[in-house]
Amino acid sequence: MFKGNFDINLDFFKKKSPPLIGVDVSSSSVKMVELSLVDKGTGTYRVEQYAIEPLPVDAMLDGGIVNLDAVGNCINRGWSRMATKQRNVALALPATDVVTKKVVVPAGLREDDLAFQVESEASQYIPFALDEVDLDFQVLGPVADNSEEVEVIIAASRKDKVEDRVAAAMSAGLKTIIMDVEPYAAQSAFELIKNQVPEGGKDQVLALVDIGATAMNINVFHNDESVYMRDQPFGGNQLTQEIHNQFNLSLEESEAAKRSGELAENYKADVLQPFCETLAIEVMRAIQFFYTSTQYTEVNYIFIAGGCAMIPGLDEIIAARTQVSTLVVNPFSSMEHSSRINPRQLNSDAPSLLIACGLAMRSFDPI
């Protein structure tokens, strides 16, 4: 596997960056999005181009890259299809590969002293030697009722996890400028769609359920703050496996058939409908875990994202099971489109592009 010394700004938190492409390397595909800012005053964006490239079934394992060449080739195919000149990219790590911790340090420290203090605090919580990790931090603000201390969030990941993704992009001829964390990127894009609910969701509890191939990530927000996060091992691969079992297809053929919908007439009734019902039960369980783990007793809206969110009628099945209004995520609903974009296809693909969209938005972060 390719290793090397990388000239890269490994920041997990927002800093101003040059124009770039958001690249989401998931367990089943690579999603890429390029945005431009049309009007800074109104915050109007335009989708310049995007691509979704399926990965071989053995390319990823538990969110990590196990076949660097396959992932690099997939990124290269997506970049070529986008026909863009942009070679800077933002990538993200799964939450399972990143250790985050909030700590309290004295206020008013100089930058060098703050970095030293954070490293000292981090060494207590990170289960690796500090020279084996990439570390970043951000000051959140003063501690309530104590102006002499500030709260800081620390994020750290093993260097090999970072370097694998950087190397895959490098093998495709692309330069990684930003390394983010998937839930943070999803949250950035989620900010674009909160206006779909009354008063932008103010004082309401909003659950973002990202249903990927191998796992379902639940992130619950209250007044723009994440108050609960959980991963459950259930995703679209269960549907692929059931297609494989029912129709005697290889896993690759099953995945392709799932995407195209070209299956026998009994597919919807015998395979897809039971899968959707099981998925809705998993979402309901996740909401129940949220209730029992926090002081909250109500979720006002559920937003579903990820590849499975594109299944027609899934939102209605989840709403019926959970008794919570359920919406399908589309971070591009208020954006303009370049002439190269097929609006109908983008609307169909939008739920699976949430993280890639959030990463692409890193181009427009304030300094």
Angle at 7 between CA 5 and CA 12, to 5 degrees: 110
Task: Please report, rounded to a whole number, the percentage of residues in the chain having pLDDT higher than 90.
Answer: 65
Query: What number is the average pLDDT over the span 149-158?
Result: 90
Q: What is the DSSP letter of 15?
A: -
The token duo for 72 is 């690099």
Contact 283, 302 (CB under 8 A): yes
Using alpha carbons, select from 6, 8, 9, 17 the residue that is nearest to residue 188.
17
Helices (H) and strands (E) in the chain — how many of each? 11, 16
Task: Kindly list the structural domains of the chain, giving each domain's residue range(s) and its CATH number in brackets, ordered by start.
Answer: 1-96+160-192+334-367 (3.30.420.40), 97-158 (3.30.1490.300), 194-329 (3.30.420.40)
Task: Give residues with Cβ within 8 angstroms of 187, minimum separation 6.
Answer: 208, 219, 221, 226, 358
The pLDDT of residue 367: 46
347 φ, ψ to 5°?
Answer: -60, -35
pLDDT tens, residue by residue, 179-222: 999 998 999 999 888 878 888 899 999 999 999 999 999 999 99
Q: Does the structure show a pLDDT above 80 at 53?
A: yes
How far is Cα 3 from Cα 166, in angstroms, rounded to an integer?
Answer: 9
How far is Cα 349 from Cα 50, in angstroms, rounded to an integer?
Answer: 10
Q: What is the DSSP letter of 230?
A: E
Collapse the DSSP code of 294 into the 3-class scheme (helix H, G, I; strand E, B; otherwise coil) and give the result: coil
How far is Cα 261 from Cα 235, in angstroms, rounded to an integer?
Answer: 17
Collapse the DSSP code of 48 into the 3-class scheme (helix H, G, I; strand E, B; otherwise coil) and give the result: strand
Give 11's pLDDT tier (boundaries 50, 70, 90). Answer: low
* Residue whose entry in the numeric block shows the structure tokens 């090999």: 160
pTM: 0.89
How far is Cα 248 from Cα 82, in angstroms, rounded to an integer?
Answer: 35
Least reliable range by pLDDT among 12-26, 124-138, 204-218, 347-361 = 12-26
* Residue 54: half-sphere exposure toward Cβ, Cα within 13 Å: 14
**What are the C-alpha distances in Å from 218 to residues 244, 284, 306, 345?**
27, 11, 11, 26
pLDDT tens, residue by residue, 84-108: 999 999 999 998 899 888 888 999 9
Q: What is the DSSP string of 326-355?
A: EEE--TTTTSEE-TT--HHHHHHHGGGGHH
Beta strands 146-158 and 99-106: pairing type?
Answer: antiparallel
Q: What is the DSSP string of 67-129?
A: -HHHHHHHHHHHHHHHT----EEEEEE-GGG-EEEEEEEETT--HHHHHHHHHHHHHHH-SS-
Contact 329, 350 (CB under 8 A): yes
pLDDT tens, residue by residue, 58-79: 899 888 999 999 999 999 999 9
Query: What number is the average pLDDT over the span 28-53?
Result: 92
The pLDDT of residue 159: 93
* Residue whose entry in the numeric block shows the structure tokens 């990388």: 6
* Residue whose entry in the numeric block shows the structure tokens 């949430």: 354
